[in-house]
Structure 1
Amino acid sequence: MPTDDQPPSADILFDDFDCGLLHTAENGQIERVNLTFCHWIGYSREELLGRQIQTLMNPEGKTFYQTYWVPLMRIQGAVTDVKFDLVHHNGHATPMMLNAIRCEHATGIFHELALFRAEERHRYERNLLNARMLAERHLAKHLKAQRAQDIAQGKLRITYAAAEDRALFAEQMIGIVSHDLRNPLSAITMAADLLGRRELDAKQRQILGHITHSAQRAQRLVADLLDFTLTQVGRGIAVSPKQLDLHELVAGCLEELRLVFPGHELTHLRVGPGEFSADSDRLYQLIGNLVANAIAYGSAAGGVTVSSRCEDHGVTIAVHNLGTPIPPELLDNLFEPMIRGSHDNAELRSVGLGLFIVREIARAHHGDVAVTSSLASGTTLTVTFPPANH
């Protein structure tokens, strides 16, 4: 027996091979045979050595040997996949499949035979055929799924391209329209300012106030649309930070907003020294959007409180109002474009860009914005910036 350190000998491999192996002389005399063949045919090795293989065949097999096997081995030197019967030691027929080759050696000519039991060969072929059919079915199923996936991806690409085209067209139209609206709005504002310098009666001044208010709202809307277009095409909102006093800036902005929203109480709370570096125009826009949102969605009698804080851990601008809280399902997406709540102030309705622009201005200053809202405490939108010395 071979040990773990020694490979099995060639004789052991020869004897234990899965098929019958024989070496015969040119006349069919068996010179070497493995135990597998001996087991199949019911003879011992000693009984087979020196015996001609054709003596193990039935009459039909012997005829096949003389008329087919011998001539083919001499002409072609090989016999492949030939079926015939061998007679078992007990007398019953044992179907075999044969492959043989003719070999020339210095000692003479001999034949190498490999035999398989036909039943096992048929079983192997059936299993092979079944495996092939199963593989073909899986391949057909895979190809069908792949084709369906390719069709779906093709449709998705077409849909995506169409959506991109529509989005690009919408962005271009928003940019063009909002840009072209600025000139006539500026002319309206200038004309209203000139008219305001004349002597007007109460009715005329009221009408002029409405014109001015509407023009200012339109200008804010145009500014939001332009900023939205810039963010959608990847340019982002540009800022030019300069040193300023945050408290004074917020106070000045609220003074202007009191003229825009007469009848609404705007309160300013200050904390800290006020030194800050930011784009003043953008902060005016940010505060204006937050206050307009608070007035639109807050209670009419509640007023709006704006807090400006400059502390060691950061700078904040917070806008608080009382009224119906923001629905929980809107909180996560409140700062996305086109998100709007519901309110009764029809004249203050917008396209839903105000808070989106607030967030983009905050991020342009390396800050961010958050919201808290409840019935008891009201709604607070807080913009947080890095510390003043950041």
Structure 2
Amino acid sequence: MPTSPLAIAMVDPMDDLLSSAPCGLFSFTDDGSLVAVNETLLEVLGYARDELLGHHVELLLSLASRMFYETHFFPMIRMHGKAQEFSLSLRAKTGESVPVLINAVRKARPGGVVNHCAFMLVRERAKYEDELLKAKWAAEEALLSNEELTRAKQELEQQTRELDQKLRMLERRNQQLTRMSTILAHDLREPARKLSMFACLFTREDREGLSLTGQRSLDRIKAVSMKMEQLVTALHELVTLDVSDEPVEEVDLLEVVGNARQRVSEAAMTGSVTLRCAPLPMVQGRRRQLMMLFYELLDNAVKFRKPDTHPQIDIECQLIQDNSFRVMKDKYRYTDFARIVVADNGMGFDNRYSEYVFEVLRKLDANTPGLGMGLAVCHKVVENHGGSISVEAELGVGTRFTILLPLRQQ
């Protein structure tokens, strides 16, 4: 291999001080050729001088350090004329990786530019760093295994779960109370006003002695009175769902659905209701409330069936794992849930109103039967059990409710 004048100049033996310095020294040109090494480097890496001079500097580097040399180390020297405190791994002749801390400076010399590098071994530093990491891991493991901290962590998790449930209930309750104030200011006052107005239109005579106007007024009073009674009863029932002291017990959902179907069939007086129900699990819950939930869903399917169409209801169930936290963000605790889908072949509705239908006294059509309380009751019951309910519908096709109920109450 021909040797450049620059290489010849650098191959001359280094003085004793640099040659035996307590740090490794080497120099290379911009094309990567090694032009000088000291005895300390040769001793550390196990090479003879003639095995290195004239070869590429990457011969001294491990595989990872070669990539770092190309992308960071050498570009830094060329750009700034120096590099300081770079951690690299040199490669000994035996293949051993030798960790070093290296500084470099770029100098112009006759015949070209030379990059001078000095390094120090950091084997002990790497060992200390490993020991520090091991000590940190040991401390973390000791903290995690500490019984007192573990108990405190469990208590904190329990309090977080309880807080999440309370926040969820409070959020829903505030919405309902706001709606209730509107109801008390308008919906209840309006029937009362009508009662007073129509009461003034008839006398104490028997119905047969009343005029046609009087008879009609009496009929209106009866209708409005009945509506007010139903409304007050329904509102009272909804409010009592929050204050009920009904105990939590093991409830067979299949039995609950069977009882709800029987009640709906008896009340509808339109013959039997076709119900196809998959196996349902036992859950912990409040029996009366769960009965209300499925009664309202089945009653909704029958009440809003398509004309001249026999009501058909399909109930599917799947056991899944779901996050029990509903309100608090970035909190996760996955538990067993029953995912229950109740689908019917009724009239359906525009899916834009999928949230609207769960609000108290909300009706998409004022001329349809009912007070607009059934789905609000369903939402309340599911929320009281730590679950959720949603609906998808298509006008003229049917409605599909999806309920998530935890198998166990926290």
TM-score, with normalisation over the residues of structure 1? 0.39
The structure with the largest alpha-carbon Rg is 1
TM-score, with normalisation over the residues of structure 2? 0.37
